[in-house]
Amino acid sequence: MQEFPEVAVLRLGHRPGRDERMTTHVGLTARALGADRAVFPDNAGQSHETVADITDRFGGPFDVELTASPKALIRNWDGRIVHLTMYGERVQDVEGEIRSAHHDDEDPLLVVVGAEKVSFDVYEAADWNVGVTNQPHSEVAGLAVFLDRLFEGRELDREWVDADRRVIPMETGKRVESADADDDGE
């Protein structure tokens, strides 16, 4: 989000066909919950297209990219790295430290979200291995809770620019408005 140093979400591993929706949901969750950028392996072209399309329609700023070398992104990252894993330290124990590195020291943050088995060098490269519970559940759920806690809910109030449409919160029913008039950004 604009007021914070960059938060990028790296999806590590992607099995075409099988992982399409999960990778797409990782990207859409990153966008909706305050990350600035999602990076997918380059065999995840379909997920990339979906996330880019949603950003076109519902606004940004948000970038989605493909990379031929996710490991190089980790190796060369100039900032701190969080790896979300059910084997990691408890999020409630380390979130304060991570928030402080990100908000106060202004370190950009790379959040790594694995698909299948993650190799040991990723555990070693991470500044924090973090478990959103130490239970098996969903990388999408883990990412969502982590981002909501990192930003302490401020991501829910972020504004969107360059959107074609905007959903108006409603008690009952659906309301979508065209957003071309007043919130088109630069």
Choose, by CB under 8 A, the member of 7, 9, 12, 22 that binds its own copies.
Answer: 22
> Residue 42 interacts with its own copies (CB under 8 A)?
no
C-alpha dihedral over 106, 142, 124, 81, to 10 degrees?
A: -10
Give me the least distance between CB of 119 and its own copies, in Å please: 12
Choose, by CB under 8 A, the member of 91, 111, 150, 179 that binds its own copies.
Answer: 91
Choose, by CB under 8 A, the member of 35, 88, 98, 102 that binds its own copies.
Answer: 88
Q: List beta partners, residue 69.
A: none
Interface region with its own copies, contact rule CB under 8 A, candidates 8-16, 37-45, 108-116, 161-169:
161-169
Residue 1 · residue 34 · CB < 8 Å: yes
Planar angle of CA 55, 81, 155, nearest 5 degrees: 40
Interface region with its own copies, contact rule CB under 8 A, candidates 4-12, 36-44, 103-111, 122-130:
122-130
Choose, by CB under 8 A, the member of 17, 104, 175, 186 that binds its own copies.
Answer: 175
Number of residues engaging its own copies in binding (CB under 8 A):
55
- Distances 21 to 18, 41, 60, 100, 149 between C-alpha atoms, Å: 8, 14, 21, 33, 24
- Distances 37 to 1, 27, 34, 89, 175 between C-alpha atoms, Å: 10, 8, 9, 25, 28
Rounded CA-CA distance 101/179 in Å is 36
Residues engaged in binding its own copies (CB under 8 A): 21-22, 25, 28-29, 31-33, 54, 58, 86-93, 120, 123-124, 126, 129, 131-138, 140-145, 148-149, 153, 155-157, 160, 166-176
In the annotated binding site for S-adenosyl-L-methionine, the residues are: 84, 114-118
